């Protein structure tokens, strides 16, 4: 989470696009909430301004200049992977930079390109 936020030059985890939380302590493990690159993302369909577009290789790209801050994308994400930047009034969505995978001390996160024809 820290690596994700650092990629933009911020400290803390407030602008992180990946969220890791405990599901009951060390014995039960952790949950990772991040964009799973839906083949037909509902967040795109609900955006009235076409601010979200399909990313080649999976996922979405946010065009902040088109975003009006309506929050429809939050309602559209079926796994809750979109968070909100209250300062900028825009969604925070994974940009698939790979920082989280590079800095994960346990090696449980990886970035993969998806072939839409498979």
What are the distances in angstroms from CA 40 to CA 55, 88, 102, 107, 118? Answer: 11, 26, 27, 28, 14
Domain residue extents for the chain: 1-34+94-111
What's this model's pTM, rounded to 2 decimal places?
Answer: 0.80
Residue-wise pLDDT for 22-78, tens only, equals 888 777 788 888 998 888 999 999 999 999 999 988 889 999 999 999 999 999 999
72 Cβ neighbours under 8 A, 6+ residues apart: 43, 46, 47, 48
């Amino acid at each position: 989470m820290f690596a994700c936020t650092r990629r933009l030059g911020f400290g803390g985890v407030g602008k992180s696009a990946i969220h890791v939380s405990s599901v009951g302590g060390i014995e039960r493990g952790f949950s990772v909430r991040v964009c799973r690159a839906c083949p037909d993302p509902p967040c795109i369909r609900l955006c009235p301004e076409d601010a979200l577009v399909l990313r080649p290789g999976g996922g979405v790209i946010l065009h902040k200049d088109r975003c009006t801050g309506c929050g429809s994308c939050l309602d559209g994400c079926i796994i809750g992977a979109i968070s909100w930047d209250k300062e900028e009034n825009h969604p925070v969505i994974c940009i698939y930079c790979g920082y989280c995978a590079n800095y994960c001390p346990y090696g449980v996160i990886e970035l993969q390109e998806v072939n839409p024809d498979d």
